[in-house]
Amino acid sequence: MDQTSIDAVRNSKIVPQLHLIGGRHVAASDGGEMDILSPLTGQLLTKAARGTTEDMEAAIASARVAFEDKRWAGQPPAARKKVMLKWADLIDANALELAVLGVRDNGTEISMALKAEPGSAAATIRYYAEALDKIYGEIAPTSDDILGMIHKEPVGVVGAIIPWNFPLMIGAWKLGPALAMGNSVVLKPSETASLSLMRMAELALEAGLPEGVLNAVTGEGAVVGEALALSMDVDVLVFTGSGTTGRRLLEYAARSNMKRVYLELGGKSPNIVFADAPKLDEAVKVAAGGIFRNAGQVCVAGSRLLVEASIHDDFVAELIKVTEAMKVGDPLKLDTNIGAINSLAQLDRNLEFVQTALAEGGNLMTGGKRTLEETGGYFMQPTIFTDVTPDATLAQKEVFGPVLGITPFHSDEEAVRIANSTIYGLAGAVWTSNLSRAHRMVRDVRTGVMHVNTYGGADGTVPLGGVGQSGNGSDKSLHAIDKYINLKTAWIKL
C-alpha cells in the first residue's frame, strides 16, 4: 500500500454510527449519542449511538431468536464455510478503508495496522471457515453392547467485549470460532474504538450471514457491557481488557446464570536477554519494537526488559540509540514508527507512571513526556527507565503505553525469579544461543507464550492465553473452538 492511496481516504466523511440489531441499523432507544474523538487531533471524528440497557437486551433477544430457529446453526457446514470465506474476501477487498478508519479511531501506525488489523482479521476468519467442517465428534471405547458418542454442539449466544487497541484482530479471534461453530454473537466494541469493528460486522451481512446472528451495540461498558454480562440469556462471555473489568464480569456471571467467562487480561511480559544471545544487535531492535510498536498498547508488549549484567550497559546504550531514532508522529504516514495514544485519559495515565517511576528511584534514560502537542493529538515519547527493581510499580503494574523498565540479572535462576515475580503470565521471551537454557526458560517462566530469539509474530496456528491474572482460555488456533462448543454425551444401549 502506498502513501497516495492512504492520503486519498484519510479525510473521508464518517457517518454517525448506529447499533446493528437484527440485521438493521438502529439508533439508541433514548436517542443518546457519544462523541468519537480522534487521537490524532483530539477533534470530533463522528458520533456513535450511546447504547442503553434496553438496546443490549434487544440485541441479545435477536441473537437468541436467530440461534433457536437455526437459521445459522442449522445450515450445513459447507454453507457456513461459504459465507465465512466470502466475509474474509470482503475484509481483504476493503482492507485500506478498514485500516485507515481504525487508525483514525485508535491511533495505531498504519504500517502496522494494515497487517495486524484487516490482514489478520481476514486470515483468522478464513482459518476458522476452513476448520469448521473438520471438527468431528467422538466414539467412546465402551463395552460391546453400548455405543458411547460425544457430540460437539454450539453453546448458543456468545457475548464478546472487544478492546480498543486491535479491534479487528481481537474481534476476529472471538467471532471466527464462535460463528464457525454455529453460535450467535452480540458484540460490544470499545467506546474509544468501535468504527472499524462495526464496519467489519456490516461486511458479514454483505457476505450472507443471516440477520440476527451477529449483533453489535455501541456504548459505555458500565451500561451495555454490564447488561451483556448480567443477561440470563447469554451462554458464554469472552473479553479482552483490564483485570479490574475482568473481575467484575466474573461477578456478573455469578449473579446471573453462571455463564462461562473467558478472559484475556494483559500482562507485564519479561523479555530476557543473555550475554550469549546470537545477534545482540537484532535483540536490541526487536526489544524496541516489542514495547514501542502501537505506542506500547499491546497486550503482549515486552514491557520488562531483563538484561544480563555483563552486557547491561552496552545493550542499554544501543537500545537508546534505536529508540531515539524511532519517529513518533502521524500514524497515517508510512514512515511513522510510533503512533498515537488511544485517548487523553490513557496518555495521562502513562505520564503518571513516569512520575511514579521517578519517585521510586528509576533512572529516566530517554523520553518520559508528551510530544507533538501542537497537533492536538495524544502522542508520547518512547520512554526507557533503568534501575527498575523487581518490586517497583513499573515492574509490577501494566502501563499499556510506550514505557519500558530495564532490570539487570546475574544468573539463570535470578532471571526466572524476576520474570515470575508479577501476578501476570501472558507472554515472554528469552535470547540465548544455549539450547538447554532456552528449553529451561520455556519450561520455567510462567507464561502463556514464550518466544525464543524473537518477540511477537506468533500466527493463528498457535494459541494465545494467559496464566495467573492474565486470564483463562485461549484465543487463536483450534484450541479456541473449545470455548464455543458444548460436549454432549449419547449413551446408547445396543
Q: List 48's β-bridge partners, or say none.
A: 17, 34
Q: Based on the domain organization, do 241 and 274 belong to the same domain?
A: no
Q: Does a structural domain hold residue 234?
A: yes
Q: Are residues 66 and 152 in the same domain?
A: yes
Residue 338 located in a structural domain? yes
* Residues 295, 339 within the same domain: yes
Is 466 within a domain?
Answer: no
**Domain check: are 295 and 212 in the same one?**
no
Task: Give the global pTM.
Answer: 0.97
Q: Is position 217 within any domain? A: yes
- Asked if 254 and 330 sit in the same domain, the reply is no
CB atoms inside a 10 Å sphere around CB 146: 11
**Rounded to whole angstroms, how far apart are CA atoms 303 and 301?**
5
Q: Where are the alpha helices (DSSP H) in 337-391?
A: 344-359
pLDDT digits (tens, 9 = 90+) for 355-374: 999 999 999 999 999 999 99
Active site residue 264: yes
**Residues facing residue 26 across a β-bridge:** 19
CATH number, domain of 195, equals 3.40.605.10
Please indicate, yes or no, if residue 464 is contained in any of the structural domains. Answer: no
- Which pLDDT tens digit goes with each residue over 8-61? 999 999 999 999 999 999 999 999 999 999 999 999 999 999 999 999 999 999
pLDDT of residue 297: 98
Same domain, 482 and 410: no
257 plus 312 within the same structural domain: no
To the nearest 5 percent, what fractions of the chain are helix, strand and coil?
45, 20, 35
Domain count, the chain: 2
Q: Is residue 255 part of a domain?
A: yes
C-alpha to C-alpha distance for 326 and 337, rounded to whole angstroms: 6
Cα distance between residue 439 and residue 145, in whole Å? 47
Q: Which residues does 136 contact at the CB level (< 8 Å), separation at least 6?
A: 152
Write the single-letter amino acid at 485. I
168 and 124, same domain (yes or no): yes
Residues 391 and 485 in one domain: no
Q: pLDDT per position in the chain (494 positions), as tens?
A: 799 999 999 999 999 999 999 999 999 999 999 999 999 999 999 999 999 999 999 999 999 999 999 999 999 999 999 999 999 999 999 999 999 999 999 999 999 999 999 999 999 999 999 999 999 999 999 999 999 999 999 999 999 999 999 999 999 999 999 999 999 999 999 999 999 999 999 999 999 999 999 999 999 999 999 999 999 999 999 999 999 999 999 999 999 999 999 999 989 999 999 999 999 999 999 999 999 999 999 999 999 999 999 999 999 999 999 999 999 999 999 999 999 999 999 999 999 999 999 999 999 999 999 999 999 999 999 999 999 999 999 999 999 999 999 999 999 999 999 999 999 999 999 999 999 999 999 999 999 999 999 999 899 999 999 999 999 999 999 999 999 999 999 999 99
- Tell me which of 109, 117, 264, 398 is the catalytic residue: 264
Note whether 305 and 185 are same-domain residues: no
Q: Check if the beta carbon of residue 52 is closer than 8 Å to that of residue 175.
A: no
334 and 250 together in one domain: no
**Which residues are 95's β-sheet partners?**
none
Range of the domain at 217: 3-265+471-491
CB 346, CB 378: distance < 8 Å: yes
- The length of the chain, given as a count of residues: 494
Q: What is the CATH number of the domain that holds 314?
A: 3.40.309.10
**446 and 328 assigned to the same domain:** yes
Q: Is residue 465 part of a domain?
A: no
